[in-house]
Amino acid sequence: MTPAVGVLALQGAFARHLDVLRQCGVDGYEIRTAEELAGCEALIIPGGESTTMVKLLETFELDEPLAKLLAAGMPTFGTCAGMILLASSISDGRPGQRCFDAIDIDVRRNGYGRQINSFEADLHVDELGGAPLRAVFIRAPLVERAGDDVEVLARHEGVPVLCRQGPVLVSSFHPELTDDDRLHRYFLERIAGT
């Protein structure tokens, strides 16, 4: 049975994630309230602008309910800005910017540069098998440190870009911006296996 998968829909590329979930045969739903969040069994936090997302989480009073669900072990997939929110610490964020410490990584916001420095790369991900995974990096966070319990699933030029720890999966890139749904399927399979 497929769990209820929510996509944080305050800002960013949430609609694309919902499209990929539908492509995978899952009816994901948009999360904008604490009540909707409480109905989630798994969550995707999309890319977007991390400082804006943190402010909106506070405005919509979602920050504390989200922190509690993450601490309780809710399966979560964070992409780009989602990775920043789930990290242990962030550099180059706004003063006092909150991270939820759901995965033991330190990230640097926009670590790969500004919008003009966006790029695509093919990544080798053993867990996905087959062809390389095409990754789209847009103002991507750079992982500066990964803790001992973090499994690095893919690297770009030696730097971790896809990491997992327990029920949390994060990517520096935007998997929803390609036609390859394998990473979303991988997340869904891990949810179903728990």
Catalytic (active-site) positions: 80, 174, 176
User: Residue 150's closest CA among 110, 107, 179?
Assistant: 107
The CA dihedral of 90, 91, 97, 100, to the nearest 10 degrees, is 0
DSSP class per residue in the chain: ----EEEE-SSSSHHHHHHHHHHTT---EEE-SHHHHHT-SEEEE--S-HHHHHHHHHHTT-HHHHHHHHHTT--EEEETHHHHHHSSEEESS-TT------SSEEEETTTT-SGGG-EEEEE--GGG-SSPEEEEESS--EEEEE-TTPEEEEEETTEEEEEEETTEEEESS-GGGSS--HHHHHHHHHHHT-
Chain centroid, CA 148 distance in Å: 20
